[in-house]
Amino acid sequence: MARPLPRLFLVRHGETEWSLNGRHTGRSDISLTPRGEDQVRAQASILVGEGRPLDPKNICFALVSPRIRAHRTFHILFEHLPKFPAHAITEEVREWDYGDYEGLVTQDILSKNPGWDIWKHGCPGGESAEQMQARVDRVITMIRDYHREWFEEGRGSRDVLVVAHGHFNRTLIARWNGFALEAGNHFNVEPGGVAVLSYNHHTLNEPALDALNLYAHAK
C-alpha cells in the first residue's frame, strides 16, 4: 500500500504587541499578548491531538525559532498532551534579521530609504535577501530529507512542523514552490495561522501549497 504524501505544517507565532502595530520584529524577544495566547490555545484544541491534523504520532520532527513568541506558541500547542514531539530550538528558523530597521514600521523605513523593498534589498545591518534565501533553502533541504526518508524508505513519520515568523514563513512558502524570493510578498501569513505544504501527483518532485492561514484569527 502506497504511503500518504508527507506534509510540512508551517505555523506563525501568535499575536504580539508589535505584530498588532506593524513593527518589524526580528531579534527582539517580544512575548505573545494574552489574547495571542488564548488564540493559540483555542487552535490547539482543534489542530493538535490524536486523529487531528497535527497528530503527534505523525510528527517526525519540529523546528522551532528561539524567540519567545515562537517558542511559547509551540508550547501552548502541545501543553495539553503528555509530552512534546521531538523538536529542536534553532536559529535556522528565526525571523529575518531586520538590522537597522528593527522595531520600525514600514512607513518609517520608507521615510529614511524611499523605494526600499525587503524582498530585493534586505536590511542594512541585518540579513540581505540573498542571505535569507540561503538560510530558508537550507531548512527546506533538511525538511525534504525527512520527507524522503518517510516516503521512500518508510523511516520516521509523515509530518514535519515549523513554528516561526511572518517573513520567514512567507519566504519558505515561496521557495518551497520553486518561486523567486520576492514571490513571498504575495502570501499573507497571519499571526497564529497555519500553512500546509506538501506535494502533487504522489511524487516529491512536485512541491505544492495545500492550505494557507488555517485557524488564523481576523485582524
User: Looking at 13, 24, 147, 165, which residue is catalytic?
Assistant: 13
Binding residue per annotation — 26?
Answer: yes
Smallest Cα–Cα separation from 10: which of 181, 180, 140?
A: 140
Binding residue per annotation — 119?
Answer: no
Q: What is the DSSP letter of 186?
A: G
Q: What is the per-residue DSSP string for 123-160? A: -TTS--HHHHHHHHHHHHHHHHHHHHHHHHH--S-SEE
Describe the strand order of the beta sheet including 159-164 as a list of residue ranges. Answer: 87-89, 59-64, 159-164, 7-12, 194-199, 207-214
Binding residue per annotation — 138?
Answer: no
User: Looking at 95, 127, 167, 217, which residue is catalytic?
Assistant: 95
Binding residue per annotation — 95?
Answer: yes
Other CB atoms within 10 A of residue 154 CB: 8
Binding residue per annotation — 144?
Answer: no
Please indicate whether residue 80 is annotated as part of the active site: no
Binding residue per annotation — 199?
Answer: no
Binding residue per annotation — 69?
Answer: yes
Please indicate whether residue 13 is annotated as part of the active site: yes
- Catalytic residue numbers? 13, 95
Question: Which parts are annotated binding residues for substrate?
Answer: 25-26, 69, 95-98
Question: Which parts are annotated binding residues?
Answer: 25-26, 69, 95-98
